[in-house]
Chains A and B, each alone.
Chain A
Amino acid sequence: MLKQISGHAKLDFPDECCGIILSDGEQDFLRQCTNIQNQLHLEDPSVYPRDARTAYQIDPKELLEICKESEAKSRPIKAFYHSHPNHHAYFSEKDKADATMWDEPLYPDASYIVIPVYGGNSEEQILGNIRVYTWDLNIGDYLESEIESSDG
């Protein structure tokens, strides 16, 4: 799964990629999504000053279909993933704010996976260490864990 999402991160570089991982407890199901941030930025730059290089929003129509699949096939959302082009992985204030609307995590059981991918102007992208953020009920915040990069 990490290989696939890393591949997605490289493919969408220099834009942030995004997606969802569902799980039925035995198997994980990857659902790559479309980052509509460029479209939002073009339509209304005053409301959306960032483009897809520094922000992401999952296409809500894809999100709807994935939520329907999640319900219909009993595959709860295990994680959301997105990449950071030319940035190390961290859970920014914006990431946290967008994940915790209405003062609570939107999906307390889902982790947030952040994949750093560096490329600059070269054609070859290199992955950094992936970090995973999981909501901890006891401390009321996201806890970080790290996975070493597969790109040496």
Chain B
Amino acid sequence: MSVIVRIPTPLRKLTQNKPEVEVSGKNIESLIDNLETNYPGIKERIYDEANNIRRFVNIYLNDEDIRFLEGKSTAVNDGDEVSIIPAIAGGILNSSQLGK
């Protein structure tokens, strides 16, 4: 399946500044693997050490958060648009005192 992946501003230095790239894959996980082949370094920014998508990285398939679909196993179809959106968050006090 050929899919457009929107690359967030902070990751564009890994994709030669391209804001969108076309990637093949049958699901989110394979899209990310293929992205990594063409643009090394992107996978470790998206996944943590346990190979799960980092909590602050939101991934949308068209307009749906993949957390409410099948996560990284969510299947994709030709012409789909996948968006990677790092969270914008914050809070008062020190992070050592309370969880993130």
Contacts and interface: CB of A to CB of B under 8 A. Distances in A.
Q: Do A and B bind each other?
A: yes
Interface of A: 16, 18, 20, 37, 46-50, 54-58, 60-61, 63-64, 67, 71, 80, 82, 84, 87, 90, 92-95, 97-99, 101-102, 104-107, 112
B16 interface: no
A128 B55 CA distance: 33
A97 B94 CA distance: 10
B91 A50 contact: yes
B60 A47 contact: no
Contacts of B89: 37, 55-58, 98
Given A104-B10, A106-B10, A106-B86, A64 B60 contact: yes
B19 A98 contact: no
Interface in B1-39: 6, 8-10, 19
A58 B93 CA distance: 18
Q: Chain A's interface: helix, strand, loop or mixed, by majority?
A: mixed
Interface residues of B, number: 28
A49 B91 contact: no
B85 A101 contact: no
A60 B6 CA distance: 14
Given A101-B10, A104-B10, A57 B60 contact: no
Contacts of A18: 88
Nearest to A76: B9
A47 B99 contact: yes
B87 A107 contact: no
B63 A94 contact: no
A49 B99 contact: yes
A63 B10 contact: no
B74 interface: no
Given A99-B90, A101-B10, A106-B9, A63 B95 contact: no
Contact of A71 (B19, B92, B94, B96): B19
Given A57-B87, A87-B92, A102-B45, A67 B100 contact: no
Contact of B91 (A46, A71, A92, A107): A92
Nearest to B95: A94
A50 B89 CA distance: 12
Interface string B51-68: 000011010100101000
